[in-house]
Amino acid sequence: MIDAAALSGLVAAAGKRAPDVSAHADVATAAILGGVACVLLFFALRPELWRRLWFTKIDPRPAALCRIAFGAVVLWSLVDLLPYARLLFTDEGMWPTALARKRYSGLLAEVWDPEHGFVRSVDVLRAIWSRFSLFHLRSDPPFVFAIYGLTIASVVAVIAGWRTRLCTIVAWVLLNTIYTYSPIFYTGGDTVIRVFLFLGIFLRWGDAYSLDAWRRRRRAILGGASELPGPPLIPAWPAQLMILQLTIIYCATGALKSGITWFDGTALYYALSLDHFYRHPDQIALGVVLQRIGALPLLTWATKLWETLFPFAAIGLALQAFERERRGPDGARLWGDAGLVRRALSYACVVGFFALAAYVAALTAAYYYDVELSPFPSVDRMMMAKLVQAAALAVPALLVGLYLGLRRWAPRAHALVVDWLLDRRLWLGFGVAMHVGID
Spatial separation of the C-alpha atoms in residues 193 and 225, rounded to whole Å: 40
pLDDT digit string, tens, across residues 271-289:
888 877 666 777 788 888 9
Say how far residue 240 (Cα) sits from the centre of its chain.
11
pLDDT digit string, tens, across residues 165-221:
999 999 999 999 999 998 887 788 899 999 999 999 999 999 999 999 999 999 888
Domain ranges of the chain: 4-17+38-55+250-438, 60-95+139-235
The DSSP 8-state label assigned to residue 136 in this structure reads: G
Beta strands 117-118 and 112-113 are antiparallel
pLDDT category of residue 333 using cuts at 50, 70 and 90: low
117, β-bridge pairs: 113
pLDDT category of residue 14 using cuts at 50, 70 and 90: very low
Spatial separation of the C-alpha atoms in residues 208 and 231, rounded to whole Å: 6
Q: Is the pLDDT of residue 154 over 90?
A: yes
Asked whether 272 and 283 are in contact (CB, 8 A), the reply is yes
Spatial separation of the C-alpha atoms in residues 182 and 102, rounded to whole Å: 11
Describe the crossing of helices 295-308 and 237-256 by its angle, rounded to 10 degrees: 130
Query: Taking all residues of the chain, what is their mean pLDDT, rounded to a whole number?
Result: 88
Say how far residue 285 (Cα) sits from the centre of its chain.
33
CB atoms within 10 A of CB 351: 13
58, β-bridge pairs: 234
